[in-house]
Amino acid sequence: METFLGIDYPTLWFLVVGLLFSGYAILEGFDYGAGAWHLFFKKDLSRRIAINAIGPIWDANQVWLIIGGGALFAGFPVMYATMLSAMYVPFMLFLMFLVLRSTSIKFRSSEEMPWWRKTWDIIYFISNVAIAFLLGVVLGNVLQGFEIGPNYSYQGGIFFSFLSPYAIMTGFTTLSIFMTQGAIFLLLKTEGRLHARLTFLLKKGMIFFIVSFSITSLYTLIFIPGVTDNFKSNPVSFLLPIFSFLAVANIPRLVSKKKYFQALVFSSLTMAFLLMLVAFQLYPVLLPSTIHSDYSVTVYNAASSQNSLGNMLMIVVIGTPLLAGYFIFLYRTFNGKVKLDDTSY
Amino acid sequence: MDVEILARIQFAFTIAFHYIYPPLSIGIGLIMVIMEGLYLKTGNKDYEILTRFWLKIFAITFGIGVATGIIMEFEFGTNWAVYSRYVGDIFGSALAAEGLFAFGLESTFLGVLLFGWNRVSPKVHFISAIGVFLGSMFSAVWIVVANSWQQTPAGYHIVGEGFNARAEVTDFWAMVFNPSSVDRIIHVWQGAFLAGAFLVLSVHAYYIRKGRYLEISKKAFKIALVVATIVSFTQLLSGHSSADGVAVNQPAKLAAMEGHYEKHAPADLYLLGWVDNENQKVTGIGLPGGLSFLVHQDFQSPITGLNAFPEEDRPGQVNAVFQFYHIMISIGMFLIALTFYASFLWWKGKLFENKWLMWIFSFSVILPQIANQAGWFAAEIGRQPWIVYGHLRTSQGFSQEVSANQIIFSLVMFTVIYSLLLVLFLYSLNKKIKYGPYDEAKKPLEII
């Protein structure tokens, strides 16, 4: 098997996909999170500002979902196909809410009628909450494992089996961390009364996060078999949960000092550490089979050919710096507090 | 209904709906870049007003295009799991390259394009417009590459057997430049230019008819007419080249396009007709030996007919392929005639004197849309029964673990949401057209 810096291609691609999904979680985390607070803002103008805080950047942030999905399809087609077809209902709901969310951003402020705006506000709020929740639910299902038989055939329930108690908990945890991330991002972009209200809301968000995260962690340790195996074999990995805890603890301190950008960095780090934790728990498995471990989808049996992975790594090496350049240009252009003008949503 | 047909209906429905928007974005994008370029070059305010106006319409088409496009990326996995495992090595890399090289470019510059008027210089804004336009062109490249590989696979080998069989890339560039890619990319680009140009023509023809915004409408109409005249003609050339490729690479599809059954005989070229698949007979008006002439420049030269292929290896819906193909061709011919006639009037200095011509242009907006859809339907139904030509059948490609009820659920959901989207799109398009290119005085915003 070919390697690069001593790491084989499937593992390298696992890191790439992990990196892309972390980028997605961090960037769309504050987009979805900001939207999940939407109905907590009472005035129409506050809601408009909240939408325009993500206005020029949410389309770009969404690129990470497209690239992450493409990278999963290209690098681990078996994982892509098995997960999406087995999780048919949650993914269809996820896609539906994605469409409704972008539609409400585009059309909410295009009419002045209060009923029009209120309707879209509700749709927008529900979509954001549902998207964050469903992402967590899918993650929970992956951690728990699927009923996968021979030839990657899914043998589990069809409609509502994805809503296991554990998946619901990971759903709430994801929602809460996105809401924390979203509130911090809005603090960075707003001023005045809305800003003061967000300081108050962020505290609630953090409590929501700490509670759901603690319950989920306990549940994971007690009920999900094999979770700690990878940790026992490599004790250094215990640093990951400690790091994520420290990163969370740092957020209130930075917010009280009004260092919102640093706070955003630390809540992003929390997400990155947690995703690393997940990746570390799973590797080299991508999708554990609850029927027999021989049927599990792993980075090796799911991976594309060496040749294809090599090409794709080249694409990533060329494409990522370009993308980073575009992002720096975009974020620099829209740096600072939201100012509504005639081009705003 | 069985899972396979439901999965096909859902895919056809979601992709056809999606395909209303990206061609419009690419086409409007081109016209918008020209308008903004003229503004920078001449400093004429009219072009700025036009750019801002078309940017607003661009924003809606682009937005709906992205929203409906994300669904496509995941629908391969949800509904076509076997296919996805089979082609992931190849198809996946094209999709990933699209995300990184094309979508990344268009979506980041889109923010600056839409919201950056007051934040960046006109030049940087123009560069952003070009970035978005190029990004949307590159998107088309990678998506058409992926589809073309399904039509004419190249640069791969098949590894494994039975359920574990899959295609793996052996030569990346041979895969990208497979025999049909280049022809089809150009054909799709030009179809998109026509879709955008005819929307611009339609809206400004409407204004001209109503006597509103005459000055700027004439300018915009002329820009779009130049694009439409050139492209409707070059589209004929690219269509011909594309059909030549089909003759070589997918003879069964070519035979279905003209309803040609006989194994080895000269084939006719129909203007219009009806295919009776059971009796293998076409009723219609056509040029005997015309297809032979187009392919081999000889009216007597034989063309491989459908009967040369086993029943299970040829398209089942011959009449559908025939009709969609001929709808596309007829519209293409009409667009050439229309744009050339309008350009002739322009040359004579009488372009805007013909009210009925403006009427025709107002309604012609629908024609490139129909032609684009019809062309894809002909291409995709003509590829059947294969999902990967010659290797994997559509009946083998769908997700085995997904039930009919699940697809009915998602199909109903898509129908509801897409109807809503279509209504919103038409409503806001209509509103923006009625409102016109000029902004009224800006309202002061209340301060929190």
Give contacts of A 196-225 with B, CB under 8 A.
none
Contact residues on chain A for B85, CB-CB shorter than 8 A: 77-78, 81, 152
Q: Is this complex's ipTM strictly greater than 0.95?
A: no
When CB atoms are compared, the residue of B60, B105, B117 closest to A343 is: B117
Nearest to B400 among A153, A329, A334 (CB): A153
Please identify among residues 281-310 of chain A the ones whose CB lies closer than 8 Å to any CB of chain B.
Answer: 304-305, 307-308
Q: In the numeric block, which tokens belong to residue B15?
A: 């992709």
Nearest to A183 by CA among A316, A72, A41: A41
β-pair type (B166-169, B269-276): unpaired
Residues of B in contact with A315 (CB under 8 A): 93, 96-97, 100-101
Q: Rg of chain A's alpha carbons, rounded to an integer?
A: 20
Residue A260 belongs to some domain of the structure: no
Contact A80 B399 (CB under 8 A): no
Residue of A nearest to B75 (CA): A84
Q: Within 13 Å of residue B370, how many CA atoms lie on the same side as its CB?
A: 17
Collect contacts of B293-296 with beta carbons under 8 A, ≥24 apart: B293/B269, B294/B240, B294/B243, B294/B244, B294/B269, B295/B243, B295/B244, B295/B247, B295/B254
Asked if residue B354 lies in contact with residue B290, where contact means CB atoms within 8 angstroms, the answer is no
pLDDT band at A187 (very low <50, low <70, confident <90, very high): very high
Q: Does A265 touch chain B (CB under 8 A)?
A: no
* B119 contacts A333? CB cut-off 8 A: yes
Query: What is the span of the domain harbouring residue A64?
Result: 3-234+272-333
Query: In this complex, do B104 and A326 lie within 8 Å of one another by their Cβ atoms?
Result: yes
Q: Which of residues 107-146 of A touch B (CB under 8 A)?
A: 107, 110
Query: Is residue A54 in some structural domain?
Result: yes
- pLDDT, tens digit, for every residue of B314-362? 888 899 999 999 999 999 999 999 999 999 999 988 888 888 899 999 9
Select from B83, B147, B138 the least CA-distant residue to B379. Answer: B147
Question: How many Å apart are CA B306 and CA B256, to the nearest integer?
Answer: 7
Q: What is the mean pLDDT of residues A141-151?
A: 86
> DSSP states of B271-312 as a string?
EEEEEETTTTEEEEEEETTHHHHHHHS-TT--EE-GGGS-GG
Count of structural domains, chain A = 1
Domain assignment present for A278: yes
- Residues of chain A numbered 62-91 and touching chain B (CB < 8 Å): 62-63, 65-67, 69-71, 73-78, 80-86, 88-89, 91
Interface test with A, best of B57, B75, B85 (most A CBs within 10 A): B85
Q: Quick one: chain A helix, strand, coil %, rounded to 5?
A: 80, 5, 20
Mutation target among B108, B388, B405, B423 for the A interface, most CBs of A within 10 A? B108
**Reduced to 3 states, what is the DSSP secondary structure of residue B386?**
strand
Residue of A nearest to B175 (CA): A308
Per CB-CB distance under 8 Å, the chain B contacts of A65 are 70
Q: Using an 8 Å Cβ cutoff, are B392 and B86 in contact?
A: yes
E strands of B86-146, at which residues? none
Most confident of A253-267, A308-322, B321-335: B321-335
Distance from CA of A207 to the nearest CA of B (A): 28
Mutation pick from A42, A47, A59 vs chain B, by most beta carbons of B within 10 Å, is A59
Q: Give the H or E element holding residue B166.
A: strand B166-169
Of A137, A255, A267, whose CA–CA distance to A199 is shortest?
A255
- With CA atoms as reference, the chain B residue closest to A88 would be B78
Condensed to tens digits (0 to 9), the pLDDT of residues A12-69 reads 999 999 999 999 999 999 999 999 999 999 888 889 999 999 988 998 899 999 999 9
Predicted confidence (pLDDT) at residue A229 exceeds the cutoff of 80:
no
Nearest by CB to A56, from B111, B131, B159: name it.
Answer: B111
Q: What is the pLDDT of residue B330?
A: 94
Q: Which residue stretches of chain B have pLDDT < 70?
A: 1, 439-448
Point out the residue among A57, A77, A319 whose CB comes nearest to the CB of B92: A77
CB burial readout B34-58, b (16+ within 10 A) else e = bbbebbeeeeeebbbbbbbbbbbbb
Sign of the Cα torsion A290, A293, A295, A299 reads positive
Look at residue B439 in the predicted model and tell me its pLDDT. 65
| Mean pLDDT taken over chain A | 88
C-alpha torsion sign, points B49, B53, B54, B55: positive
Residue range A294-311: average pLDDT? 88
Of the pLDDT bands very low, low, confident and very high (cuts 50, 70, 90), residue A227 is low
Kindly identify which residue of chain B lies nearest to residue A94, measuring between CA atoms: B71
> How many inter-chain contacts (A to B, CB under 8 Å) are there?
249
Q: Is A330 within 8 Å of chain B by CB?
A: yes
**B111–A95: do the CB atoms touch at under 8 Å?**
no
Highest mean pLDDT among A7-21, A144-158, A233-247, B223-237: B223-237
How many whole angstroms separate alpha carbon B76 and alpha carbon B219? Answer: 44
How does DSSP classify residue A289?
Answer: B
CB-based contact B105 A326, cutoff 8 Å: yes
For residue B439, list chain A residues with Cβ-Cβ distance below 8 A.
342
Taking contacts as CB-CB distances below 8 angstroms, the residues of chain A near B13 are none
What are A334-339's contacts with CB under 8 Å, separation 24+? A334/A56, A334/A57, A334/B111, A334/B115, A334/B116, A334/B119, A337/A189, A337/A190, A337/A191, A338/A49, A338/A52, A338/A53, A338/A55, A338/A189, A338/A190
pTM across the whole model: 0.91
A71·B120 Cβ contact <8 A: no
Using CA coordinates, name the residue in chain B closest to A192: B448
**Residues of A whose CB is below 8 A from B115:** 55-56, 334, 343-344
Could you tell me if residue A130 is inside a domain?
Answer: yes
Q: A101 CA to chain B: closest CA distance, Å?
A: 9
